Structure 1
């Protein structure tokens, strides 16, 4: 039988992926916090997977990608709101 079938899947990778996917839901500050947690958990999971011969590298990658997408979205959203506020303030001055 294949040895890979019996390898343990990293719980950190699954937790990172879950936080990353949930962070994509627009929940305000909670999304930002979950995105950071997803990136950290997934990065730790990647190194743990390499060190201990576990499975779940794909889950960790999904967590990192979703976390980064969420952070980029919120950065652009805050940047857009800030520029609108500056244009409104400058037009009233």
Structure 2
């Protein structure tokens, strides 16, 4: 059966893919390319493409573990890094926001104390964040109380 222009173009595409994948050398690629562009029948095109994959190459199946294989027990795997306590982060954020929004001093103190208790129980990270939130919160509360006392004393 006679080959059409489209059939020759498909064959040339397969040859290009074979060359780009390293399946064909430069000289052989050029020779096959010339023969493909001059091919008259499907048989001539098939002879040029017989040793090349013409589409997606199936992947070999994944190797199966040998009989009796046991995966590494979790006790021998490295421990995941400890998480940072969310309340400790919240205490630090509230403490930092205290100069702008004075009302966040009380949540900074509350969250700081709760975070410290959770960190002692769970072993999470973030003790420094909780402490910083506590210090900033108590400083803001103390500063506010000092101002109130100064105003009351001056009256």
Tell me if TM exceeds 0.5: yes
Question: What secondary structure, in the 3-state scheme, does the structure 2 residue paired with 1:48 have?
Answer: helix
**1:82 aligns to 2:118 (yes or no):** no
Report how far residue 11 of structure 1 moved: 0.7
Where does the alignment leave 5 or more consecutive residues of structure 1 unmatched?
87-93
Unaligned runs of 5+ in 2: 1-77
The answer to whether structure 1 residue 10 and structure 2 residue 85 are counterparts is yes
Question: Normalization by structure 2: what TM-score?
Answer: 0.47
1:62 corresponds to which residue? Answer: 132
- The total of aligned residue pairs comes to 78
Runs of 4+ aligned residues of structure 1 deviating over 4 Å after TM superposition are none
CA distance in 2, matches of 1:52, 1:8: 10
State the Cα distance separating 1:78 from its structure 2 match. Answer: 0.9
Aligned-partner Cα distance in 2 for 1:57–1:71: 21
Q: What RMSD in Å do the two structures reach over aligned CA positions?
A: 1.6
Q: Are 1:52 and 2:122 counterparts?
A: yes
| Contact 1:24-1:66 at 8 Å conserved across structures | no
Task: Say which one has the larger Rg.
Answer: 2
Partner-residue secondary structure (3-state), 1:6: coil
Match of 2:111 among 41, 57, 81: 41
Secondary structure in 2 matching 1:54: coil
When you count helix as a share of all residues, which structure comes out higher?
Answer: 1
Contact 1:12 1:44 in 2 (8 A): yes
**Residue number in structure 2 paired with 1:91:** none
- For residues 108 and 96 of structure 2, what CA distance do their matches in structure 1 show? 9
